[in-house]
Amino acid sequence: MKAGLRFFKTKEGVGVLAIIVTGLLAIMKLVASFITGSLGLRADAVHSVVDMSGAVIGLVGMKIAARPPDKGHAFGHGKAENLAGTVIGLLIFGAAVFIAYEAIERMVSGAVIEMVATGIYITIVAIVLNLSIAWYGLRMAKANESVALEATSRDLMADSMSSIAVLLGLILVAITGNSIFDSLIALLVSVVILRTAIITLAKSGGGLMDRRLPAEEEEIIRSILNNHSGVTSFHRLRTRKSGSERYIDLNLVLPKSYTVEKAHAICDQIEAEIKSRLPRSRVIIHIEPHKAKQKKG
């Protein structure tokens, strides 16, 4: 029992939990959409199916990213998370387009919704479950710096927001008796989902393109180097992120009088300081002898 609970405190465990919950939600919403005829609920169900597919892809990406470096992948498999996040983003984008098309078509043709109360109750349950898992997933993603889990959790959060919109639409239908509110809400849901797709693709795509670390993280590195008494200067600071792993490469200038042993000790100290401030960092330092014109960068 305790081992099972510990598993759900890992990013892989959260991924499995997301798959289970989104699968159940997709079934609930699909059944409710056929009973009521609500396009909003059907759109929400499609979003949940995409969530589940994304959660599966995210889990696979996290498992591959966790593999240690091998002969074919000397820098590890961290980009599997970025790739998984990109695929999830594309799935979310596709769902947004599909829902928008269905909403516009329904607005043109018209439709009648029945058993609105049933749809309302099911949507409330879906919102509570989605928000709970999304909040927990984002918390675990931040703790583990997992791009794939963050993408999955943001997808769940967007699903929660769309479910709230669907709930409001159903309430308006129940009050006014006009089913057009259902289609309007479905169209609004598609916009929310599209925004999530853009955010997810931007975050995951940046990692695939070896985008540098955030400015605040690079400033931490510079601060460590500038405040180290043994360092004359540094230059060619290059950074990138692969999954949850940070890669930092720089040229370090030290006095010519330093022995190899002393220079190596300084590099070890700097590497340890960087890793203490920026976990999961891999640091490569190239040593150069000091020249009179060089200053700290």
In order of 69, 118, 165, 207, 229, the CA distances from 33 in angstroms are 47, 10, 15, 38, 67
Q: How many CB atoms lie within 10 A of CB 215?
A: 8
Whichever domain contains 72, its CATH number is 1.20.1510.10
SS (H, E, C) 44-113: HHHHHHHHHHHHHHHHHHHHHHCCCCECCECCCCCHHHHHHHHHHHHHHHHHHHHHHHHHHHHHHHCCCC
Q: Tokens 């909003």: give the residue.
A: 40
Maximum CA pair distance of the chain? 86
Report DSSP state, residue 257.
T
- On whether the CB atoms of residues 72 and 236 are closer than 8 A, the answer is no
**262 within domain boundaries:** yes
Whichever domain contains 243, its CATH number is 3.30.70.1350
Per-residue pLDDT of the chain (297 residues; tens, 9 = 90+): 555 556 656 767 777 887 888 888 888 888 888 888 887 787 778 777 777 777 777 777 777 777 777 777 766 676 777 777 788 788 778 878 877 887 787 777 766 677 788 888 888 988 888 888 888 888 888 777 776 677 778 777 777 777 887 888 888 888 888 878 878 877 887 887 788 788 778 777 766 666 788 889 999 999 999 988 878 889 989 998 876 778 899 999 998 889 999 999 999 999 999 999 998 898 999 998 887 555 555
Which structural domain, as residue segments, surrounds residue 62? 2-208
Instruction: Retrieve residue 99's tokens.
Output: 């829902």
Instruction: Retrieve residue 96's tokens.
Output: 């947004």
Residues 234 and 156 in one domain: no
How high is the pLDDT of residue 221?
94
Residues 146 and 244 in one domain: no
Residues 156 and 233 in one domain: no
3-state secondary structure of 241: strand
Domain boundary among 152, 184, 208: 208
Residues 171 and 268 in one domain: no
Residues 174 and 219 in one domain: no
How high is the pLDDT of residue 110?
66
Number of structural domains found in the chain: 2
